Structure 1
Amino acid sequence: MITIYDIAKKANVSAMTVSRVINNSGKISDATRQRVKQVMEELHYVPNSNARSLVLQKTHIISLLITDITNPFYTTLARGAEDTAKRLGYKLLFGNSDENYAKEKDYVDMILSTRVDGVLFAPTGDGSAAHLQQLQKHNMPLVLLDREVPGIQADTVLGDSKEGARRLVEHLLSLGHRRIALINGSEDVSTARQRHVGYKEALKLNDVPYDEALVLYANYREIQNETALSQLLHLPDPPTAIFAANNFLAIGAIQGLRAQGLQVPDDMSVVCFDDLGLASALNPFLTVAAQPAYQFGSLGMQWLIDRIEGRSQDEPRTIILPSELIVRSSAAKLKS
């Protein structure tokens, strides 16, 4: 096995100089640095990352914990995080909580038992507070993505859920719809609460009465209660349009509607938060409030590495990224 002493001998430098080149520390001339790197390449030398982490107290590994990798929003977010991490010399340790607090806790325990430099964390919901407090108790650098958690002070990258929801509902109102159902995520998730606020605000601004009977709560991953959707459709004054609080809820709603012989948008208009990635490119159908998912991951990673490397000592920051209303064919004018 090639060692730093073999490198030092061939490059005609000390082992300490080789160590400084590997760890990018100390004052070394550019010529010496290049000579050592050239010898390392010639001998196919790979530095021992475990030994380096013990010396530097860093692993250059970051944990990314999200709620649902099958959701195109989080898939794109993860790509933004990975690209930025790689550009800045870090690698990712990935976890997926499936919107499940118990699974999230298992990942937090693993993170604390593994040598990582920081965590990018998309919380399951308000119940994630205990897990986040555990990370902060161990002084783990932390950035929250997509969702905030009451009582947790940390750098946070959010989308403008309230404004995006308001614009989607106003689009439906502009098409003549007045009975607009909301299929929302759990109330213990900050984005669901904000989208509910935007929904109600749009109705109020347009003098449309709010009706709690038109609001259905579900897990963000899917509509799990087909009976609830059926009850929504069989109200004395049923909805003519549905605002789904995320893309998976929209897909579940459309599948449920089709199971009951209803077509979108002929029988029911549907809009939703978050786009469907490549599916939208192949079949541009759903009207959406599209969030800059890649930017969520990229900016969150940049902020986290700034914390890890001591470039940011300020109070926790929050940024709210705007969404873009993309009008397609899933919503139509209300038939008279």
Structure 2
Amino acid sequence: MVTIYDIAKKANVSAMTVSKVINNTGRISEKTRTKVRLVMEELNYVPNQMARGLVLQQTNILFLLITDITNSFYTTLARGAEDAAKKHGYRLLFGNSDENLIKESEYVDTILGTRVDGVLFSPAGDRSLPNLENLRMHKVPFVLLDREVPGIECDVVLGDSKEGARQLVEHMIAYQHNLIALINGSLEVSSARLRQQGYLDAHKLNDLLVREDYMLELSYEAHSDLTTIENWLKALSPQPTAIVAGNNVLAVEAIRAILNCGLRVPEDISVACFDDLGAISEITPFLTVVAQQAYQFGYMGVQLLIERIQERENVKPWKKIILPVELKVRKSVKQVMVE
């Protein structure tokens, strides 16, 4: 492997001069810089980023920690983050916590050992607070995506969860549904709490009775317990005519459970949810959704994070960006025939 000493010997300069050229520091003539760079190219020298990072206290590496890579919302978010990172000269590493606090903690340990410049963090829930405090204790800048955590102040990029849930319920009401159930994520997750609040607000604004048994709390992670959803559906009387799901993963699980119960979507039960299903929605546009700007979550998150990294010594007020949502009406919600 070529070292800076090999370059120094061939260019007839000191190793310190080579180091200054690599790190673009110090006063060196343009003639010497050009000579050193030509030798670097001739020897195919690749700088050791970790060593360079030790010198500059910067690695130009960011880490993206998400909760479910199988969810198209997060894959699109990751695309936006990667594009923004590349544009600004950063590389992006990523991890997937599976909504699991233990796995999340392990990734935080990895992050601290990797010496990344900053972290884009989608927390598993409110109990992620110690992990965020650990990052802050080690002076690692971070930006939260999609979810907030009580007890920590920081930059955050969110979707308008409350407004989106309200729009979904009111869309169903416009189709004459008044028995609308909610399958949601854990209320230890801020987005789930806001979506429940939007669901409740829409009921109150439209003078609909709120039934506690119509609200099922599960997890946002993939492969929830189908049997739980099926048993819940069978126990409801009267049966709801529509279901709002807290995200696209839960919507798919709800549809599977409805079909397993011998019912049809939307003929027997209409379904709508947060977040689109990616490319499949372009091929077969079926599911009515409130779409979030997933790409912008990642892109804007990186921009906020780089601002924090570059202005680490100049503390500015924390920024909270709430991105608007868009209702996409398709075929999964059916008009109820009023007799």
TM over 0.5: yes
Counterpart of 1:162 in structure 2 is 162
Counterpart of 1:144 in structure 2 is 144
Counterpart of 2:24 in structure 1 is 24
Measure, in 2, the Cα distance between the counterparts of 1:278 and 1:46. 38
Counterpart of 1:116 in structure 2 is 116
One-letter identity of the residue aligned with 1:198? G
Counterpart of 2:320 in structure 1 is 318
Counterpart of 1:70 in structure 2 is 70
Measure, in 2, the Cα distance between the counterparts of 1:138 and 1:65. 17
Deviates more, 1:59-68 or 1:246-255: 59-68
Retained in 2: the 8 A contact 1:180–1:243? yes
Retained in 2: the 8 A contact 1:223–1:253? no
Measure, in 1, the Cα distance between the counterparts of 2:75 and 2:155. 21
The correspondence of residues 225-236 of structure 1 with structure 2, limited to 5 A, is 225-236=226-237
Counterpart of 2:272 in structure 1 is 271
Residues 170 and 5 of structure 1, relative CA distance in 2, 3 Å threshold: same
Measure, in 2, the Cα distance between the counterparts of 1:43 and 1:194. 57
Cα RMSD for the two superposed structures: 2.0
The correspondence of residues 120-135 of structure 1 with structure 2, limited to 5 A, is 120-135=120-135
Retained in 2: the 8 A contact 1:213–1:232? no
Retained in 2: the 8 A contact 1:289–1:324? yes
Counterpart of 2:248 in structure 1 is 247
Following TM superposition, by how much is the alpha carbon of 1:308 offset from its aligned partner in structure 2, in angstroms? 1.4
Measure, in 2, the Cα distance between the counterparts of 1:303 and 1:137. 20
Following TM superposition, by how much is the alpha carbon of 1:159 offset from its aligned partner in structure 2, in angstroms? 0.7
Retained in 1: the 8 A contact 2:182–2:214? yes
- Scaled by the length of structure 1, the TM-score of the pair is 0.93
Deviates more, 1:27-36 or 1:65-74: 27-36
Counterpart of 2:204 in structure 1 is 204
Following TM superposition, by how much is the alpha carbon of 1:34 offset from its aligned partner in structure 2, in angstroms? 5.3
Counterpart of 2:185 in structure 1 is 185
Measure, in 2, the Cα distance between the counterparts of 1:34 and 1:256. 67
Deviates more, 1:7-16 or 1:55-64: 7-16
Residues 30 and 319 of structure 1, relative CA distance in 2, 3 Å threshold: farther
Following TM superposition, by how much is the alpha carbon of 1:80 offset from its aligned partner in structure 2, in angstroms? 1.2
Measure, in 2, the Cα distance between the counterparts of 1:229 and 1:219. 15
Query: Gaps spanning 5+ residues in structure 2: where?
Result: none
Counterpart of 2:257 in structure 1 is 256
Deviates more, 1:182-191 or 1:295-304: 295-304
- Identity across matched positions, percent: 61
- Scaled by the length of structure 2, the TM-score of the pair is 0.92
One-letter identity of the residue aligned with 2:334? A
SS of 1:239 mapped into structure 2:
coil
Following TM superposition, by how much is the alpha carbon of 1:236 offset from its aligned partner in structure 2, in angstroms? 2.2
Counterpart of 2:304 in structure 1 is 303
Measure, in 2, the Cα distance between the counterparts of 1:22 and 1:74. 36
Counterpart of 2:104 in structure 1 is 104
Measure, in 2, the Cα distance between the counterparts of 1:231 and 1:86. 47
- Aligned residue-pair number: 336
